[in-house]
Structure 1
């Protein structure tokens, strides 16, 4: 299944949740991370249950410090 993450195509072998994507595919920590799927923000509480579909457009936004 093909999805797009921050304008880069990724191929997944099977459907997965956002939480599974972060942990097993992208190996990202979740602190300070916001996620939108198809231009809709997904709250962190929904990451375990929101299953990604073929063609989904995912935006990962990482908070940074600075002024």
Structure 2
């Protein structure tokens, strides 16, 4: 299955959830938000949200500052 993550193409075996995607990318879930096809997915749904061929995922990382 081909998906786009932060404007970079990836090929993963399906089925693939958002939670599994983060693990495969070795990305911590702490301090981040996820959007699929420009729609924010609430954190409690990450383990059940299945990605589909051609989905575009954006990982937003929280940044502290002032």
Q: Is the counterpart of residue 4 in structure 1 residue 10 in structure 2?
A: no
Structure 2 residue ranges without an equivalent (≥5): none
Deviations 1:19-38 (A, max 9, x none): 01111x10111111000000
Structure 1 residue ranges without an equivalent (≥5): none
Give the match for residue 15 of structure 1: 15
Q: TM-score, normalised by structure 1?
A: 0.94
Q: TM-score, normalised by structure 2?
A: 0.95
Would you say how many aligned residue pairs link Structure 1 and Structure 2? 66
Moved >4 Å (runs of 4+): none
